[in-house]
Amino acid sequence: MEKSSKNSVILVTGASDGIGRELCLLYAESGAKLVLAARNQNSLEDLAKECERMGAEALAVRTDVSSPEDCKKLMERAVERFGRIDILINSAGVSMSAPFESLQDLSVFQKLMNVNYLGVVHTSYYALPHLKKSQGLIVNLSSLQGKTGFPRSTGYSASKFAVQGFSDSLRIELMGTGVDVLVVSPGPIATKMNFRKFDANGIIAQEEDSKAAKRNIMSPEECARLIARSISKRERELVMTFGGKLIPWIRLFAPAFVDRMIASAVEKFYSED
């Protein structure tokens, strides 16, 4: 990873926090040229300074990925500063936790699609001409919830299925161009996303940190390392956790069993305190 990313221009959305932030720090160690995108400009500026202290070059660009104009400008700023884009990592995302029938505000579905799905479409569209020149890579953060449905997550899961379908289709269109598409499907990762989700009223609800901290789930550092390994091998899919890898196979002959397994895992997740 270290040698191949030394001079690479790596653009990360959702860089201000969580998995995106960890990926930036990981690539900063190897002296990459980083473009950091998210809405929180202060967090981006702080991260850019941290990456530069580690030996990387970093450019912070305030971006709302649900805006096509912002994404167009993001790519222009990246190319203006570094001359090219080698890897686009789409990590920006928002989540939800509410049973479908409890929803009081259906705009949650629009918001989830705008960020999780259309955000990926916007950045991919405007980065593509540059990625074709560099024979680069698009990395889309999906989820195990983009492989199979999860309760309390109808809108989130649907947005991640959309990311999977978009990525698989684009990969075929790009055959022979030298541009590859990697879809990453993590299980639960210990980031703020796990206690910062749209609730039934369409408001981002904050669960107590202490409750979330007790959950024994993969760290964002480990998640970032696994992603970087898949990037260096230019893989097309990274499905995290043993259970996650098994789900598609078990679903072939026992789909109702998978549903029950997921229902009980989600119930356990929310009852742990």
Positions that interact with ligand NAP (CB under 6 A): 13-14, 16-20, 38-40, 43, 63-66, 91-94, 115, 141, 143, 186, 188-189, 191-194, 196
Complex with ligand NAP: residue 19 or 108, whichever CB lies closer: 19
Residue placing its CB nearer to ligand NAP in the complex, 196 or 245: 196
The residue whose Cβ lies closest to ligand NAP is 18
Residue 59 one-letter amino acid: L
The CB-of-239 to ligand NAP minimum distance in angstroms stands at 11
Cα Rg, the chain, nearest whole Å: 18
The CB-of-176 to ligand NAP minimum distance in angstroms stands at 29
Q: Are strands 180-185 and 57-62 parallel, antiparallel or unpaired?
A: unpaired
Which amino acids are annotated catalytic? 156
Strand partners, 137: 87, 180
Q: Which two tokens stand for residue 214?
A: 């007790």
Beta bridge partners of 239: 185
CB of 17 to ligand NAP, least distance (A): 4
Nearer Cβ to ligand NAP (39/133): 39
Q: What whole-number distance in Å separates Cα of residue 19 and Cα of residue 2?
A: 18
CB of 156 to ligand NAP, least distance (A): 7
Least distance in angstroms from the C-beta of 140 to ligand NAP: 8
Nearer to ligand NAP, 169 or 206 (CB): 206
CB 60 within 8 A of CB 44: yes
Report the helix count and the strand count for the chain, using DSSP H and E. Answer: 11, 9
Q: State how far the Cα of 25 lies from the Cα of 23, in Å rounded to an integer.
A: 5
Residue placing its CB nearer to ligand NAP in the complex, 155 or 188: 188
User: Using H for helix, E for strand and C for coil, what is the string for 140-202?
Assistant: EECCHHHCCCCCCCHHHHHHHHHHHHHHHHHHHHCCCCCCEEEEEECCCECCHHHHEEECCCC
